[in-house]
């Protein structure tokens, strides 16, 4: 079983409000990516810069903050939650950011079918759906096949940064990445990663954050 085929890593879609539908229609032509064409970063961003992929950008607060703080890199945000996409689009417009593009899709499809090998400088997975029940663990994104898919799209020396507030997920990430022939674990630092919405919620519920960083060998 490959992640994203028979197994969905996310919950069912939500309906969008009229305002969100308006934002999608108006802003996707500028900030979206045409998935039916071969992905050409220089064409999409109008320049060639190191490319960062954020998987599961949620409502996009951290996405917009990171892009503003890192103008020399381009950021591709992929998310399946349509209201979150709409909210992120509005943030990008309000902040006038030009180094972000947004994809409404399953990250597995984006990685497998759209992004070229070695095209990514960094992949960020911040607070992936935790699927805490044991019988749901197979839905977690970071399983060995997914790690190898990510590795194939990262350049040599590129980074994978996962953050979670579930200790068992952090343990799974350490296990998967230390067992991978394509990654070397390099640290547990959050670096300058901003607080995300889900992280703030987790802290309010008494959970702490765990960061796992690995480099593509
Ligand atoms: C718990 S939320 C965290 C959102 C945000 N990173 C934060 O920390 O606030 C996880 C997000 O990942 C998205 N997601 C889960 N599986 C995904 C997949 N296969 N492709 C794209 N997005 C996915 C979900 O829709 C959800 O918005």
| pLDDT per residue rounded down to tens, the chain (217 residues) | 455 455 777 776 678 899 999 999 999 999 999 998 889 999 999 999 999 999 999 999 999 999 999 999 999 999 999 999 999 999 999 999 999 999 999 999 999 999 999 999 999 999 999 999 888 888 999 999 999 999 999 999 999 999 999 999 999 999 999 999 999 999 999 999 999 999 999 999 999 999 999 999 9
Give pLDDT, residue 1.
45
Give pLDDT, residue 5.
54
DSSP alpha helix (H) spans, 32-181: 41-45, 61-69, 82-95, 107-109, 144-153, 167-178
**Element containing residue 157 per DSSP (H, E):** strand 154-164
Instruction: Out of 36, 129, 165, 211, pick the active-site residue.
Output: 129
Round to whole Å and give the CA distance between 103 and 110: 8
Residue 152 burial (CB < 10 Å; 0-12/13-18/19+)? middle
Query: Is 74 annotated in the active site?
Result: no
Task: Please name the residue that has the structure tokens 């987790």.
Answer: 202
Interval between CA 55 and ligand 1 midpoint (Å): 7
State the closest ligand 1 atom to the C-alpha of 78, by its place in the atom list counted from 1.
21
Interval between CA 48 and ligand 1 midpoint (Å): 27
Collapse the DSSP code of 8 into the 3-class scheme (helix H, G, I; strand E, B; otherwise coil) and give the result: coil
CB contact at 8 A, 34 and 95 = no
Interval between CA 97 and ligand 1 midpoint (Å): 22
Give pLDDT, residue 202.
94
**Mutational test site, ligand 1, from 10, 64, 82, max ligand atoms within 8 Å of CB:** 10
State the closest ligand 1 atom to the C-alpha of 61, by its place in the atom list counted from 1.
9
Round to whole Å and give the CA distance between 91 and 195: 16
Collapse the DSSP code of 51 into the 3-class scheme (helix H, G, I; strand E, B; otherwise coil) and give the result: strand
Residue 177 burial (CB < 10 Å; 0-12/13-18/19+)? buried
Give pLDDT, residue 35.
93
């Amino acid at each position: 079983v490959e992640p994203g085929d028979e197994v969905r890593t996310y919950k069912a879609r939500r309906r969008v409000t009229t305002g969100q539908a308006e934002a999608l229609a108006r802003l996707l032509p500028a900030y979206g990516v045409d998935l039916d064409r071969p992905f050409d970063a220089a064409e999409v961003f109008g320049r060639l810069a190191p490319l960062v992929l954020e998987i599961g950008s949620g409502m996009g607060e951290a996405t917009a903050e990171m892009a503003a703080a890192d103008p020399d890199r381009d950021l591709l945000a992929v998310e399946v939650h349509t209201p979150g996409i709409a909210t992120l689009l509005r943030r990008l417009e309000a902040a006038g950011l030009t180094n972000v593009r947004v994809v409404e899709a399953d990250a597995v499809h984006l990685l497998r079918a759209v992004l070229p090998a070695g095209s990514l400088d960094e992949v960020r997975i911040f607070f992936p759906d935790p699927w805490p029940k044991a019988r749901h663990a197979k839905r977690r994104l970071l399983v060995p096949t997914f790690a190898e898919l990510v590795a194939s799209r990262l350049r040599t020396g590129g980074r994978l940064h996962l953050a979670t507030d579930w200790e068992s997920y952090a343990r799974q990430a350490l296990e998967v990445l230390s067992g991978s022939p394509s990654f070397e674990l390099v640290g547990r630092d959050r670096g300058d990663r901003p607080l995300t919405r889900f992280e703030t919620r987790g802290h309010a519920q008494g959970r702490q954050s765990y960061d796992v960083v690995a480099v593509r060998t």
